[in-house]
Amino acid sequence: MKKISKQEYYNKVYGSWLGRVSGDFVGAPVEFMPTVMRNLFYGEIKYYPQPIDIEYVNDDEMYEICALIALKKYGIEPSSEQIAQEWVRHLYTQNFTAEKRALINLRGGIRPPASGKVNNIYYDAIGAQMRADIWGQISPGLPNVAKEYAQTDGEISHAGIGIEGEIFVALLIAQAFFESNIAKNINTALKFLPSARKSLYTQMVKNAIRLHKKHPKEYKRARHELIQYWHYIRRNELLTDENSFSERGIKFLNRFISGVHVLPNAGIITLALLYGAESEDPLGKSISIAANMGLDTDCNCGNIGAIVGAQIGASDIPMKWKAPLRNTFSTYVKGYERWKITELAEEIYKIGLGVLKKKGQDKIKVIK
C-alpha cells in the first residue's frame, strides 16, 4: 500500500495548479504562431514570453472549474450529464470546436454521449485532453479511477481518440503523485489505453518515445519528424472513413486548422516531458520546450505544467515561475471568475481526500 501525507498531497495538488497556470502564461502568447514569427518576436523561449497580466483569462480551465462545481454539488461520482449541466449553467463565452458543438447540442436537449458526436466534426480535437488535469488531481495513485473520471467527462464533447487524450493526461497526473520518473509514468499510462494496433493515439505517443531515443539531445529534429508523421496520418485519411473533401476534411483536417487535433499535440506533450525530465528545472524546461514546438501551445504547456507540478510539488517549483502569478487565477465561469490558486488547490485537495477514502482504501493510505 502506498502512503501520502495530507501535507504532501496538498503540496502536489497546489504544485499541479501552479504548473498549469504557469504553462498557460508561457504558451498563450505563441499559440499557433509560425516558427519564424515566434523566433522573430521572442527568440528561443526559456521563460514567460510576456509580463504576467493577472487579469488575463485563458479559456482552457473553465471546464475544470465546472467539473469542480459538479463534484461539490453532486458528490464524487457525477455523471456526464451532471457535469454537462454545469457547462450550460456557467459557461458564456470563448467556446471552440468540439466544446462549442457540444454546448449547442446540450442546449438543444441532446445529452451525453450523443452531445459529443451529433454534428461534431471535432470529436477528436484537443479539448478533452486539455481539461484532464482535475481528474488526475483527485485520483492520486489511482489510475483506474482517473481513467473512469476522464471517460465520463470526455464523452460530453468528444469520442474515440479525443477521449483517449483526456484519459492519458489524467493518468499521467494521477501517477505523478507517486512516480518521479516521467518515462516510467508515460509507459505505465499507455497500459491503460488501447494497443498501438487499435489506437492512433497510442501509436503517436510511442512514436514520440522512439523519436526522443533517436534524437536524445535534439528536440527540434524530433519535433520535425513527429509533425511529418502527423501529416502522413492526416493526408492518408487514417482518421476518418470520409475523404478529404468531406466537411470534416475541409474544415478540420486541412493543413492549418488540424493543428488543434489531439494527435500532434499529444506527441508534443510526450516529447517535451521527456526532453525536460533531466533538467534541474523540469517544469520550466518542459513547458518552454513545448512552447518552442508550437501548435496548441497554451493547452500543451498547461497540461505539462499540471503533470510536472504534481510530480515535484509546489515547494520545489522555482520562485521565478510562481511569484509572478501572485497566487491569482481568473476564468470565464459565471460566479467563479477569480480565485486564489491556493484556495482552488484546497478545494480540489478536499475532494481528493473523499475520493481516496471511498475508492482508494486498499491502495493508498493517507497519513497525518
The CA angle 266-268-270, to the nearest 5 degrees, is: 70
Q: What is the pLDDT of residue 242?
A: 62
Q: What is the pLDDT of residue 185?
A: 98
Report the SS3 class of residue 125: strand
**What are the Cα distances from residue 102, in Å, to 105, 134, 167?**
5, 20, 19
Q: What is the pLDDT of residue 287?
A: 98
Nearest in space to 26 (alpha carbons), one of 252, 359, 348, 281: 281
- pLDDT tens-digit series, residues 310-319: 999 999 999 9
- pLDDT tens-digit series, residues 22-61: 999 999 999 999 999 999 999 999 999 999 998 888 888 9
Which portions of the chain are predicted below pLDDT 70?
237, 241-244
Q: What is the pLDDT of residue 92?
A: 87
- Could you give the CA distance from residue 80 to residue 47 in angstroms, rounded to a whole number? 37
Q: What is the pLDDT of residue 244?
A: 65
Q: What is the pLDDT of residue 246?
A: 85
Q: What is the pLDDT of residue 211?
A: 98
- Alpha carbon 80 to chain centroid distance? 18
Q: What is the pLDDT of residue 241?
A: 63
Sign of CA dihedral 303, 307, 312, 313: positive
- Could you give the CA distance from residue 184 to residue 219 in angstroms, rounded to a whole number? 19
352, 137 contact by CB (below 8 A) = yes
Q: Quick one: the chain helix, strand, coil %, rounded to 5?
A: 60, 5, 35
Q: What is the pLDDT of residue 270?
A: 98
**DSSP code of 261?**
B
- Could you give the CA distance from residue 213 to residue 129 in angstroms, rounded to a whole number? 25
Q: What is the pLDDT of residue 107?
A: 97
Q: What is the pLDDT of residue 243?
A: 66
274, 183 contact by CB (below 8 A) = yes
Could you tell me which residues come within 8 angstroms of residue 179 by beta carbon, excluding any fewer than 6 positions away?
185, 188, 311
Q: Where are the beta strands (DSSP E) in the chain?
A: 2-5, 328-330, 338-340, 364-367
The CA angle 171-325-294, to the nearest 5 degrees, is: 55
Q: What is the pLDDT of residue 332?
A: 92
Q: What is the residue whose three cell numbers read 502569478? A: 325
Domains in the chain and their CATH numbers? Answer: 2-367 (1.10.4080.10)
C-alpha cell at 162: 479525443
